[in-house]
Amino acid sequence: MARVSQSFLLGLWMSDIGKKAKNSEFIALERHKIDSYNFMDLDKVLSDIYCSSRPVFADYITRMELVQNFNDMAEDIYGNSEESIPVLEAYGSFVTDTFSRQSDLDVSINFLNGTTELTREMKIEVLKRFARKLHFLKGKGIVRNVEPILTARVPIIKFCDQRTGLECDLSVENKDAILNSQIIRIVSQIDGRFHILCMLVKHWAKTHEVNSAVHRTLNSLSITLLVALHLQTQDPPILPPFSMLFGEGIDPPKVEERIQNFLNQGQPNHESVAKLFATFFIKLQSVEYLWKEGLCVSVLNGLWISKKWEYTGDVESISVENFTNVTQNVARQVNEEGARKIYSSINQTVEDIIEFLDGKVTGTQLIHSLFGQQAETELRRWLSRQNDVMEPPPHVQLLNAGTDLGHRLSRQLGLLETPPLPPYIGNIAGTPPMFSGRQSVLEPRPPPPLLPPLLPPPPPPYGPQNVPHPYFGRPFHQ
């Protein structure tokens, strides 16, 4: 009996609106004649941007040192009281390893010895205690811009570390965010293209100022889940429905065990990052008017669904279901004005990509359009370092350092075990095997640095920060 594809089976019970979304995407892809293009040059652009924006070893250390400093601050606050001392734990982009050097650091204040849920009032009181300490440290010149935001749905304190210039957000018992971050990091091990696309789309969103819940646009989790759905709805799928990973529950260690059965999930799909990046924006463009009909992203099921939200009894401007709590829309902060701004950027981006594929604009011009002029500056700085000796990946540096800090960070990011190589070695996405000569998209192109032969590095965060990633469908240095 012939094997039936997962996408075919999903299509049999897809909601009417899901079928509309699929049909709209198909028409859009046909209109743009997306299969007629060669994506090698776009691969070069995206590879350069990804590699030049990745954090380096020092960025990991800086963030871990800050988390340790915050725990020392908690001991100062609670050390002489009868209350238990909370443990401060990072979550968000640092844990998922989708942060850039300029990204905020999200930290949750957790009380580990209690089984009762803290009320909102109790959480606010905790934040007020930390705010007093931070204002004291501000007077010492250690932090600046201390701003408690206690009326938000999730109360936080925003402040900036004076030494590093990093913006930090403190919340209390933010268990959902911690769990989501851990699950996303685990899922990223299935296929490296997921991590890369998340990094690129977040970079794009920040450049276009559509990555801010405060300004009623997309938060980082919404972007991550939109990317995940895009990979789940490829044929063949690159990521499985998250429900297939939660057979033993959503406890991260159990999920990590279960994903071992899915590590080759995306191997039959040879689409390059460039084509996936282009079709991601075309997909979103094609469903713009379906959100009002109840269209919703469900990575739990791995497909578009129809949904009205219990807390409003209605649809919302953009709906992205939380995979750990399906009653919550993680894009609920997006209003009509925010959605218009998001779609203005999406529509312009599709136009820019198509113009580049048609040869009407250069790689440098596309970088300015998609990622801003600062991205070109960072890229030139990165290229100037290409003749330097290549650093080991961050987790190797941490363990080689032999420090307690290094081992704590490695444990937190799950880096103590040697990670496997990605599935693609050699002929990737229809391109030749490794050969000499990597070239930048910037003009004029410098000669390639002389480096020893390399195997493709494992998926981020393990790979060297100055080597193109194998999933871009392009060769490495030789």
Contact by Cβ (8 Å): 200, 46: yes
Closest CA to 271 of 75, 58, 18, 46: 46
In a domain, 449, yes or no: yes
pLDDT beyond 80 at 105: yes
In a domain, 32, yes or no: yes
Is 73 in the same domain as 95?
yes
**Residue 76 bridge partners (DSSP):** none
- Count of domains for the chain: 3
What is the percent of the chain where pLDDT is above 70? 77
Closest CA to 8 of 22, 21, 20: 22
Is 252 in the same domain as 213?
yes
* 194 to 132, 155, 259, 280, 400: CA distances (angstroms): 41, 30, 14, 12, 28
Dihedral angle over CA of 340, 343, 344, 349, nearest 10: 170
Report which secondary-structure segment, H or E, holds 159.
strand 156-161
* 124 to 92, 115, 133, 149, 269: CA distances (angstroms): 21, 19, 14, 10, 48
- Identify the CATH number of the domain in which residue 96 sits: 3.30.460.10
Residue 168 CA, distance from chain mean position: 18
Is 305 in the same domain as 352?
yes
Is 221 in the same domain as 347?
yes
The tens digit of pLDDT for each residue in 268-326 reads 999 999 999 999 999 999 999 999 999 999 999 999 999 999 877 788 999 999 999 99
Is 79 in the same domain as 100?
yes
Q: Are strands 167-172 and 105-110 parallel, antiparallel or unpaired?
A: parallel
Closest CA to 97 of 195, 220, 219, 222: 195
Q: CA-to-CA distance for 400 and 386, rounded, in angstroms?
A: 23
Phi/psi of residue 147, nearest 5 degrees: -140, 100
In which band, very low, low, confident or very high, does the pLDDT at 460 lie, cut at 50, 70 and 90? Answer: very low
In a domain, 478, yes or no: no
Structure token pair of residue 233 = 């709805």
In a domain, 199, yes or no: yes
Q: What is the mean pLDDT of residues 210-216?
A: 89
Q: Are strands 303-306 and 325-329 parallel, antiparallel or unpaired?
A: unpaired
In a domain, 365, yes or no: no
Please tell me the chain's helix, strand, coil percentages from 3-state DSSP, rounded to the nearest 5.
45, 10, 45
Give the position of tokens 């701004």: 341
Closest CA to 263 of 431, 83, 419: 419
**Which of 28-32, 142-146, 290-294, 308-312 comes out lowest in average pLDDT?**
308-312
Is 26 in the same domain as 72?
no
Is 407 in the same domain as 392?
yes
Closest CA to 285 of 354, 238, 219, 331: 354
By CB neighbour count within 10 A (0-12 exposed, 13-18 middle, 19+ buried), where does 151 fall? exposed
- Other C-beta atoms within 10 Å of 217: how many? 25
By CB neighbour count within 10 A (0-12 exposed, 13-18 middle, 19+ buried), where does 418 fall? exposed
| Half-sphere exposure in the Cβ direction for 235 (13 Å, CA) | 10
Is 168 in the same domain as 187?
no
In a domain, 316, yes or no: yes
In which band, very low, low, confident or very high, does the pLDDT at 80 lie, cut at 50, 70 and 90? Answer: confident
In a domain, 222, yes or no: yes
Q: What is the mean pLDDT of residues 257-262?
A: 92
The tens digit of pLDDT for each residue in 163-192 reads 999 999 999 999 999 999 999 999 999 999
Report which secondary-structure segment, H or E, holds 171.
strand 167-172
What pLDDT does 14 receive? 61
Q: CA-to-CA distance for 369 and 363, rounded, in angstroms?
A: 10
| Half-sphere exposure in the Cβ direction for 286 (13 Å, CA) | 23
Is 168 in the same domain as 184?
no
Q: What is the pTM of this model?
A: 0.81
Domain final residue, candidates 177, 199, 225: 177
Is 377 in the same domain as 415?
yes
**Between residues 265 and 180, which one has the greater pLDDT?**
180
Q: CA-to-CA distance for 396 and 416, rounded, in angstroms?
A: 9
**Between residues 216 and 424, which one has the greater pLDDT?**
216
- Identify the CATH number of the domain in which residue 198 sits: 1.10.1410.10
By CB neighbour count within 10 A (0-12 exposed, 13-18 middle, 19+ buried), where does 442 fall? middle
Residue 1 CB partners (closer than 8 Å, separation 6+): none
Is 231 in the same domain as 173?
no
Residue 455 CB partners (closer than 8 Å, separation 6+): 421, 425
In a domain, 362, yes or no: no
Is 230 in the same domain as 209?
yes
Q: What radius of gyration do the chain's Cα atoms show?
A: 23
In which band, very low, low, confident or very high, does the pLDDT at 218 lie, cut at 50, 70 and 90? Answer: very high
The tens digit of pLDDT for each residue in 362-404 reads 999 999 999 999 998 888 888 887 655 445 545 444 444 444 5
Q: CA-to-CA distance for 231 and 225, rounded, in angstroms?
A: 10
Q: What is the mean pLDDT of the chain?
A: 81
The tens digit of pLDDT for each residue in 414-453 reads 443 433 333 322 222 333 222 223 344 443 333 333 323 3
Structure token pair of residue 211 = 């990555």
Domain final residue, candidates 144, 177, 210: 177
Domain of 68, in residue numbers: 57-177
Domain final residue, candidates 145, 177, 209: 177
What pLDDT does 394 receive? 52
